[in-house]
Each structure stands twice: as structure tokens, then as C-alpha cells.
């Protein structure tokens, strides 16, 4: 099974007030970490979608074999960023069986989690993470969902596609560590014993 990955990192991080994609854990930025984890889990190709902070992110190198797309209309919302990312990925590798959708600001995602998700894909064609109070990314979509993913626009993201189909879930309570504010980052660092 050939599975690619789209790493969404196009937002302006307005709630955070700075480019959170460039926050570092053990000397590695959040966006680089997300790309590396996807690569180590065997996803290929891996595409990062940039937008609001693209110039700053592009000043730095990124993990080898990672493709980059700067989405000029990123302000229209995550759905549009995902749609252009899926189109770009399929343009590079049209024979993909599935696509992983990851966010750059979920630092607790592991290779083991992504392996568990891939193992469940054949059951329904969509695998979501169960965060405890909700389901969401990382998310894995079989190729039957590609047309719907490419049709997304505005703020309607992958959850809109998943809501129209049967899904299976993989427990991932650590998704609560979504770095969307300075306070969340501070709590995350404290949890890791870095503050």
C-alpha cells in the first residue's frame, strides 16, 4: 500500500502570536518533527503546506525528501490548504492508495501511532484519532475520499469528509497537546520537564 502525507502548516498562528511551526523540541522545529515522523513511518511522498509564515519557514532547511507547497490563498482556511495539498501530492504520485493528514502543531504524534492507523485503514477507508472528547487528526483517508478532499474549501476541513463516511478510530489522548497558545506551549514544556 502506497500512502503519502500532507502536513498542514499554513496558518498564521494568530492565537499563538508567533510562527508556532518553528517552536523547537530538542533542537527540532515542530514542522520538521511532523515531517520526520511521517517519513520514519514510511509515508511517501511527504508534502508540507505553508502559508502565513512561509518566508520564515523557508529560510530554514527541512528534512530531506520533503516536498513544499506555499498556498497563496491560505487565509481562506484549512479546507483550501488541504485541497491544494492533496492535489499537489497526487500530481507527484498519482498511484497513492491513501493520504495521511497531519498538523504541524501536534508534538506527541509518534511513528507507532501512525503505524497503528495504517493497520486499521482497510477496515473502512478512513481512520481518525480519538482524542477523548472528539475525533480528528492525524487522519488517514483511502483513495475513495480523494475527490472530496480536493473539493474542500474555506474552513471546512477533513472532518467534513469523514462525517459522510464510516470511520474507525485509534485512541490518541495525547492529541490534547495541540500547541495553539503560549499557555499550551508552556504547559507542554512543563510536562516534559523543560521549565
- Please give the full DSSP string across 26-59, using - where no structure is assigned: TTEEHHHHHHHHHHHTT--SEEEEE-TTHHHHHT
pLDDT at 136: 84
Q: Considering the entire predicted model, what is its pTM? A: 0.89
pLDDT at 194: 58
Residue 17, pLDDT > 50, answer yes
The residue to which cell 511532523 is assigned? 34
DSSP lists the bridge partners of residue 40 as: none
Q: Give 82-92 pLDDT, tens digit per residue.
A: 999 999 999 99
In this prediction, residues 23-38 reach a mean pLDDT of 88
Q: Give 152-165 pLDDT, tens digit per residue.
A: 988 778 888 888 88
Q: Is 119 exposed, middle or buried (0-12, 13-18, 19+ CB in 10 A)?
A: exposed
Question: According to DSSP H, which parts of 54-179 are helical?
Answer: 54-58, 78-92, 111-124, 146-150, 158-162
Task: List domains and CATH numbers for the chain.
Answer: 3-191 (3.90.550.10)
Distance CA 153, CA 74 (A): 10
Residue 96, pLDDT > 70, answer yes
Amino acid at each position: 500500500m502506497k500512502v503519502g502525507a500532507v502536513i498542514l502548516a499554513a496558518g498564521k498562528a494568530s492565537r499563538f502570536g508567533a510562527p508556532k511551526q518553528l517552536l523547537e523540541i530538542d533542537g527540532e522545529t515542530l514542522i520538521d518533527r511532523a515531517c520526520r515522523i511521517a517519513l520514519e513511518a514510511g509515508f511517501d511522498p511527504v508534502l508540507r503546506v505553508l502559508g502565513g509564515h512561509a518566508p520564515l519557514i523557508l529560510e530554514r532547511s527541512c528534512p530531506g525528501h520533503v516536498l513544499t507547497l506555499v498556498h497563496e490563498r491560505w487565509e481562506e482556511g484549512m479546507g483550501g490548504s488541504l485541497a491544494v495539498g492533496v492535489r499537489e501530492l497526487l500530481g507527484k504520485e498519482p498511484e497513492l492508495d491513501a493520504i495521511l493528514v497531519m498538523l504541524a502543531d501536534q508534538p506527541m504524534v509518534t511513528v507507532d501511532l501512525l503505524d497503528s492507523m495504517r493497520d486499521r485503514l482497510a477496515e473502512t477507508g478512513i481512520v481518525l484519532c480519538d482524542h477523548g472528547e472528539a475525533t480528528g487528526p492525524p487522519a488517514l483517508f483511502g483513495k475513495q475520499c480523494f475527490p472530496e478532499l480536493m473539493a474542500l474549501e474555506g474552513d471546512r476541513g477533513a472532518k467534513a469528509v469523514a462525517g459522510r463516511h464510516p470511520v474507525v478510530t485509534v485512541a490518541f489522548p495525547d492529541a490534547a497537546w495541540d500547541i495553539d497558545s503560549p499557555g499550551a506551549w508552556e504547559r507542554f514544556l512543563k510536562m516534559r520537564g523543560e521549565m
